[in-house]
């Protein structure tokens, strides 16, 4: 038997850092742009005098785009390579942002938001893969999560910008300005991705080898390969990647997109509510910082289970704040701050990390895309349902339901557990 050739490093140190920085930027834009909708869309609705159904459609547009982009575009990374999709995602984001800024009516705002979602959906799995596949195993978790952590930084900056522009909130230009501000930076990131070298031929060779092992031809479509994710060798990994992410996004987006309404339920004044929003979102940054420090030490599964349980505790505490004898805003902020910290320590970070580590190389794009789509399916559902629950049943019931989803997420993670901390993605 011929000895296997010595494996070479698929990426030099300089390329690794460039990939990491450009992938981190994508996560930053996602956090900033998607969660800006909690503040901008009410202003859009007021300017164009939109009804409830139209508002719900706008709220869900970017999330639907993320869902479709993750499945359809993200999975193409297994056929066309990582680099083309890595570039295309930023190009589409530039176009979507420009369309929202220039939109003459709410229909074009919705189309722009949908394109933004498609771009971010494609970037979800691809950004993870280009980092994970060029990093040493010992630091892979830290590098992937530190890039993912820029999502929290984007959420925090977006909330702060909304607070700064609040005095102009009822002027037609205000919400457009919030979508215009990131546009120059997105263009720079697009140019940076265009300058990256092509993906390693060594890595593509490893992918061809694994395709052969799976009885697939290198040209097999993503639909055919996707069926393998539901077969016994990978079915358990698919469940672990998809189900907790779906449940996690129910709560994360349920809180993130409903935060102004939840604070209003505690009778917070405008300025107090914005200050509380910034404080609550700051806990996302602290949570992801803790996840970066612990993911390669404790492992993905313990952190995900602990985080889900902590999320349930935070939501239960926030629910108590809305009772008739409760102190209101301080307890609500404490509960939501605990939730934000624990979600980024646990399920929000670990589901993203697991989705890119559970699947073999030739199926990693479609697997990670399917998991991201499952999560965004939860986000779309919560964007449509949460406002109705808040309006008809109140914030207390909403928080109780979301707490139950977190408990269920912990149980499912334990049942399907597969630790990937020391797994070699290129073996």
Instruction: Please report the DSSP string for 127-195 in residue order.
Output: HHHHHHTTS-HHHHHHHHHHHHTHHHHHHHHHHHHHHHTGGGTTSTHHHHHHHHTTHHHHHHHHHHHHT
The set of residues, in sequence order, having a beta carbon less than 8 Å from that of 177 and lying 6+ positions away, is: 165
* Other CB atoms within 10 A of residue 348 CB: 27
The pLDDT tens digits of the residues spanning 240-278 come to 999 999 999 999 888 877 776 777 666 554 556 666 777
pLDDT at 426: 65
What's the chain's length in residues? 427
pLDDT at 209: 42
Q: How much is the average pLDDT of 103-123? A: 93
pLDDT band at 89 (very low <50, low <70, confident <90, very high): very high
Structure pTM?
A: 0.77
Q: Is the pLDDT of residue 1 over 70?
A: no
Q: Is the pLDDT of residue 14 over 80?
A: no
pLDDT at 202: 35
Q: Is the pLDDT of residue 198 over 80?
A: no
Task: Between 54 and 215, name the one with better pLDDT.
Answer: 54
pLDDT band at 191 (very low <50, low <70, confident <90, very high): very high
| Pair 298, 323: CB distance under 8 Å | no
Q: Is the pLDDT of residue 207 over 50?
A: no
| Pair 125, 365: CB distance under 8 Å | yes
List Cβ<8 Å contacts ≥24 apart for 5-10.
Answer: 7/202, 7/426, 8/202, 10/133, 10/134, 10/200, 10/202, 10/203, 10/426
What backbone torsions phi and psi does residue 169 show, to the nearest 5 degrees?
A: -60, -25
Q: How much is the average pLDDT of 9-24? A: 78
The set of residues, in sequence order, having a beta carbon less than 8 Å from that of 406 and lying 6+ positions away, is: 247, 248, 251, 308, 309, 311, 312, 315, 347
Q: How much is the average pLDDT of 230-240? A: 90
pLDDT at 326: 54
Q: Is the pLDDT of residue 10 over 50?
A: no
Cα separation, 30 vs 227, in Å, equals 29
Cα separation, 231 vs 111, in Å, equals 37
DSSP letter string, 42-100: HHHHHHHT--HHHHHHHHHHHHHHHHHIIIIIGGGHHHH-HHHHHHHHHHHHHHHHHHH
Q: Is the pLDDT of residue 111 over 90?
A: yes
Q: Is 248 exposed, middle or buried (0-12, 13-18, 19+ CB in 10 A)?
A: buried
* Other CB atoms within 10 A of residue 314 CB: 27
| Pair 129, 368: CB distance under 8 Å | yes
In the block, tokens 């589901």 appear at: 351
Cα separation, 392 vs 299, in Å, equals 41
Q: All domains of the chain, ordered by start, with CATH?
A: 13-211+227-415 (1.20.1250.20)
Task: Between 410 and 71, name the one with better pLDDT.
Answer: 410
pLDDT at 166: 55
| DSSP secondary structure letter of residue 181 | T
Closest CA to 65 of 24, 33, 131, 113: 113
The SS3 assignment for 351 reads helix
Q: Is 19 exposed, middle or buried (0-12, 13-18, 19+ CB in 10 A)?
A: buried
pLDDT at 98: 96
Out of 46-50, 58-62, 324-328, pick the least confident.
Answer: 324-328
Tokens of 353: 């990390």
| DSSP secondary structure letter of residue 221 | -
Q: How much is the average pLDDT of 369-387? A: 84
Q: Could you tell me what percent of the chain has a pLDDT over 90? A: 37
* Other CB atoms within 10 A of residue 29 CB: 27
The SS3 assignment for 231 reads coil
| DSSP secondary structure letter of residue 358 | S
The pLDDT tens digits of the residues spanning 290-303 come to 999 999 999 999 99
Closest CA to 365 of 61, 12, 145, 89: 89
pLDDT band at 9 (very low <50, low <70, confident <90, very high): very low
Q: Could you tell me what percent of the chain has a pLDDT over 70? A: 83
Task: Between 163 and 128, name the one with better pLDDT.
Answer: 128
Average pLDDT, the chain: 82
The pLDDT tens digits of the residues spanning 121-156 come to 899 888 888 888 888 888 888 999 999 889 888 888
| Pair 151, 27: CB distance under 8 Å | yes
Q: How much is the average pLDDT of 15-35? A: 89
* Other CB atoms within 10 A of residue 355 CB: 31
The SS3 assignment for 6 reads coil
pLDDT band at 406 (very low <50, low <70, confident <90, very high): very high
């Amino acid at each position: 038997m011929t000895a296997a050739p010595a494996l070479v490093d698929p990426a030099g140190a300089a390329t690794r850092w460039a990939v990491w920085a450009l992938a981190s930027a994508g996560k930053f834009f996602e956090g900033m742009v998607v969660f800006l909708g909690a503040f901008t869309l009410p202003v859009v609705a007021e300017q164009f005098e939109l009804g409830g159904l139209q508002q719900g459609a706008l709220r869900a547009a970017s999330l639907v785009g993320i869902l479709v982009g993750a499945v359809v575009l993200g999975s193409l990374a297994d056929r066309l390579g990582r680099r083309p999709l890595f570039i295309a995602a930023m190009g589409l984001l530039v176009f979507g942002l420009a369309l929202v800024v220039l939109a003459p009516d709410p229909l074009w705002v919705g189309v722009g938001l949908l394109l933004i979602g498609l771009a971010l959906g494609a970037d979800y799995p691809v950004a993870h893969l280009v980092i994970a596949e060029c990093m040493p195993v010992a630091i892979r978790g830290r590098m992937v999560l530190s890039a993912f952590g820029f999502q929290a930084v984007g959420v925090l900056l977006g909330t702060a910008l909304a607070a700064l522009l609040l005095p102009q909130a009822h002027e037609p230009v205000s919400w457009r300005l919030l979508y215009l501000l990131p546009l120059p930076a997105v263009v720079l990131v697009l140019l940076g991705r265009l300058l990256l070298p092509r993906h390693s031929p060594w890595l593509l060779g490893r992918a061809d080898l694994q395709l052969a092992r799976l009885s697939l031809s290198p040209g097999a479509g993503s639909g055919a390969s996707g069926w393998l994710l539901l077969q016994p060798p990978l079915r358990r990994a698919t469940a672990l990647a998809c189900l907790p992410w779906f449940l996690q996004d129910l709560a994360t987006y349920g809180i993130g997109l409903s935060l102004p309404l939840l604070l209003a339920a505690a009778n917070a004044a405008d300025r107090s509510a914005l200050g509380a929003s910034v404080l609550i979102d700051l806990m996302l940054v602290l949570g992801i910082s803790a996840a970066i420090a612990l993911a390669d030490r404790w492992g993905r599964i313990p952190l995900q289970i602990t985080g889900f349980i902590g999320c349930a505790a935070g939501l239960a505490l926030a629910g108590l704040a809305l009772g008739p004898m409760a102190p209101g805003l301080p307890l609500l902020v404490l509960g939501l701050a605990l939730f934000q910290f624990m979600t980024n320590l646990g399920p929000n970070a670990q589901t993203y990390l697991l989705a890119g580590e559970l699947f073999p190389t030739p199926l990693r794009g479609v697997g990670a895309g399917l998991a991201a789509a499952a999560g965004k399916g939860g986000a779309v559902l919560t964007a449509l349902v949460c406002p109705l629950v808040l309006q008809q049943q109140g914030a207390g019931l909403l928080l109780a339901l979301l707490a139950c989803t977190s408990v269920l997420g912990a149980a499912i993670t334990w049942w399907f557990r597969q630790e990937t901390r020391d797994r070699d993605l290129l073996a």
